[in-house]
């Protein structure tokens, strides 16, 4: 079949997806109305037009304030459910979804509303869509390590609902080492570990080296700047480290999909995967990202199959996790 249909239909796991990044303008508008919040925008079109940015910093400046409409457990449920319905139409059979509890607790929304709503959508997806969906708790790296540790403690009663922990938001001046103790504790508690190493940051390669050598992560989110150090690429390959790359997101925050880096790593046998990151903001869900990369880089059907295989190989699917699912 044509590459586009093949890419969208191919069964795949999505491993780099921020639930808060799936807030489509239509839902934002509906939630504002439901919660009696007055938005600065008067239409869905105006909200969509406000999703406008040129780099990570300007993206985050729009992204966090947009979350004010999310308040009740039902709001979080509806957000995740709408994502999962869209993901199914893009060939997703398994999703490991980031969520940012501190983006909500820091404005007074209880942790339990956030995780309760998200978990309800995940369980419903198994029943009604045949998709397994897990949650990855992300710490915001521009908040303190103490706040991250307190968030980890708050999450422990819900540990069966959380597969791993991650780190996102603004990387500048917030290197991985800042959270070494938090991640060591999370590992000791049995969580899988991943961290964002965003594209073209100051000190990207040093941060990638630190997450591999010092933190001991199981995956790296983005991380394609690793190509700057071939010795480190060899280590990543030997350890089977997973890289969750996001071509369309890259093209928004750097004006390039970074397809040479992604495809170079794929050809070297590094376990790179393709994901959507914040699909409501970048206008592309995960299957669309497979299509965009394939068109840009001239990938074959076989290449897309390898990318999908990688997504399952570096997923955190285990018998114990499946048992904890219900
Ligand atoms: N990088 C950092 N923070 C984020 C991202 C990202 O790609 N997406 C949502 N929050
Ligand atoms: Zn991300």
DSSP per position, 225-271: GGGG-HHHHHHHHHHT-EEEE-HHHHHHHTSS--HHHHHHHHHTT-E
Q: Among 21-25, 114-118, 283-287, 320-324, where is mean pLDDT lowest?
A: 320-324
3-state secondary structure of 138: strand
Q: Which residue has the tokens 């780190």?
A: 167
Spatial distance between the Cα atoms of 281 and 90, rounded to a whole number of angstroms: 17
* Interval 255-267 mean pLDDT: 97
What value does the mean pLDDT take over residues 79-84?
Answer: 99
> What is d(CA 194, CA 181) in angstroms, rounded to the nearest whole number?
14
pLDDT at 228 over 70: yes
Q: How far is the CA of 155 from the centre of ligand 1 (A)?
A: 21
Phi-psi group of 59: left, alpha or beta (phi > 0 → left; psi -120 to 50 → alpha; rest → beta): alpha
Beta carbon of 14 within 6 Å of any ligand 1 atom: no
Cα–Cα separations (whole angstroms), residue 212 to 140, 207, 217, 236, 241? 20, 9, 6, 8, 9
**DSSP-based three-state secondary structure for 37:** coil
What average pLDDT score do residues 260-277 get?
Answer: 98
Report residue 157 as tokens.
């009663």
pTM tops 0.90, yes or no? yes
Whether residue 220 has pLDDT greater than 60: yes
Task: Tell me if 21 CB under 6 Å of ligand 1.
Answer: yes
For ligand 1, say whether the CB of 244 is within 6 Å of any of its atoms.
Answer: no
For ligand 1, mutation pick of 17, 19, 169 (most atoms within 8 Å of CB)? 169
For residue 67, the domain's CATH number is 3.20.20.140
Q: What is the mean pLDDT of residues 137-159?
A: 98
Q: 3-class DSSP state for residue 286?
A: helix
- Strand 219-222, strand 192-197: pairing: parallel
Give the neighbor-by-neighbor strand order of the sheet with 132-140: 12-14, 92-99, 132-140, 162-168, 192-197, 219-222, 242-245, 271-274
**What proportion of the chain, given as a percentage, has pLDDT over 70?**
100
Burial, 51: exposed, middle or buried (Cβ in 10 Å; 0-12, 13-18, 19+)?
Answer: buried
Amino acid 321: pLDDT: 87
Ligand nearest to the CA of 281: 1
Residue positions in the annotated binding site for substrate? Answer: 278
Quote the number of domains for the chain.
1
Q: For residue 324, is pLDDT > 90?
A: no
Ligand 1 atom closest to Cα of 198?
A: 1
Ligand nearest to the CA of 97: 2
* Mean pLDDT in residue range 230-237: 98
Our answer on whether the CB atom of 75 is closer than 6 Å to any ligand 1 atom is no
Residue 214 has pLDDT above 90, yes or no: yes
What pLDDT sits at residue 326?
Answer: 57
Q: What is the ipTM of this complex?
A: 0.96
- Please provide residue 281's backbone torsions phi and psi, each rounded to the nearest 5 degrees: -90, -30
Q: What share of the chain is helix, strand, coil (3-state, %, to 5)?
A: 60, 15, 30
The chain-wide mean pLDDT, for the chain, equals 97
Residues in the chain: 326
> Which residues have their alpha-adjacent CB atom under 5 A from ion ligand 2?
277
Domain span holding position 119: 3-325
Task: Look at residue 161 in the predicted model and tell me its pLDDT.
Answer: 96
Give percent above pLDDT 90 in the chain. 94
Q: Is the CB of 141 under 6 A from ligand 1?
A: no
- 139 - beta bridge partners? 167
Q: Report whether pLDDT(200) > 60.
A: yes
User: Does the beta carbon of 20 sit less than 6 angstroms from any atom of ligand 1?
Assistant: no
């Amino acid at each position: 079949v044509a590459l586009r249909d093949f890419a969208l239909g191919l069964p795949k796991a999505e491993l780099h997806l921020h639930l808060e990044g799936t807030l489509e303008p239509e839902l934002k508008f509906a939630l504002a109305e439901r919660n009696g919040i007055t938005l600065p925008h008067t239409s869905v079109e105006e909200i969509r037009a406000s999703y406008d940015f040129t780099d990570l910093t300007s993206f985050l400046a729009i992204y966090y304030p947009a979350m004010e409409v999310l308040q009740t457990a039902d709001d979080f449920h509806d957000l995740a459910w709408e994502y999962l319905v869209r993901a199914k139409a893009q060939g997703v059979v398994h999703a490991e979804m980031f969520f940012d509890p501190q983006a909500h607790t820091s404005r007074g929304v209880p942790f339990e509303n956030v995780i309760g709503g998200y978990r309800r959508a995940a369980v419903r997806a198994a029943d009604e869509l045949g998709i397994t969906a897990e949650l990855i708790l992300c710490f915001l790296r521009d908040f303190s390590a103490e706040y991250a540790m307190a968030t980890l403690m708050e999450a422990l009663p819900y540990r069966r609902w959380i597969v791993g922990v991650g780190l996102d938001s603004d990387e500048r001046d917030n290197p991985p080492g800042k959270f070494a103790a938090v991640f060591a504790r999370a590992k000791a508690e049995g969580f899988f570990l991943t961290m964002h190493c965003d594209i073209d940051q100051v000190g990207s390669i040093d941060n990638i080296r630190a997450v591999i050598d010092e933190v001991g992560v199981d995956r790296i989110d983005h991380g394609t700047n690793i190509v700057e150090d071939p010795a480190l690429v060899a280590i990543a390959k030997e350890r089977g480290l997973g890289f969750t790359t996001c071509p369309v997101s890259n093209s928004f925050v750097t004006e390039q999909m970074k397809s040479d880096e992604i495809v170079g790593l794929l050809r070297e046998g590094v376990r790179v995967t393709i994901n959507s990151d914040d699909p409501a903001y970048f206008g592309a869900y995960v299957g669309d990202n497979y299509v965009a990369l394939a068109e840009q880089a001239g990938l074959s059907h076989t290449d897309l199959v390898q990318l999908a295989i990688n997504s399952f190989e570096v997923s955190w699917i285990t018998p114990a996790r499946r048992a904890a699912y219900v």
